[in-house]
Amino acid sequence: MKELGIAYTIQGVELLSNDVIGQWITAHGFTALAVHWDLDVLHPDSFHSLYFNEPGVPRFTGSSHGIYSLEQITSMLRSVQDMADIVGFTVAEYLPWDAIQLRQSLGLLSIFSE
């Protein structure tokens, strides 16, 4: 991004305000945005399908996890869509542990495995 002359801020403890995000969008003259959402920014207690919630694995102590709620991020994204068109959207780190476990369990039944 530096080579393209695009300033950026690394997210800290506080969620960037809508005003700060809007100023960044305006300063660069963006009218369209591609959003990449790494779900690991969410707190594992507020959204279950995250790496940090793998069943049978104790809560990770050596690495940090997200601190935001789904509602906080959704609110921020709704604000962004009012400032510029969201023309691309990716989601990363979605790990639906319950669905994985259900698939593995049902796979043991002949109706699903034959």
pLDDT tens digit sequence for 85-94: 999 999 999 9
Lowest mean pLDDT among 7-16, 20-29, 54-63, 99-108: 54-63
Residue pointed to by tokens 């709704």: 78
* Position 62 confidence tier, pLDDT thresholds 50, 70, 90: low
What mean pLDDT is predicted for residues 16-45?
Answer: 93
For residues 83 and 35, is the Cβ–Cβ distance under 8 A?
no
What is the tally of structural domains in the chain? 1
Residue-level pLDDT at 13? 75
Q: Domain for residue 62, yes or no? A: yes
Q: Is residue 11 part of a domain?
A: no
**Distances from the Cα of 11 to the Cαs of 40, 66, 100, in angstroms?**
13, 11, 31
State residue 4's pLDDT score.
86
Residue 27: domain span: 18-113
Please give the model's pTM, rounded to 2 decimal places: 0.80
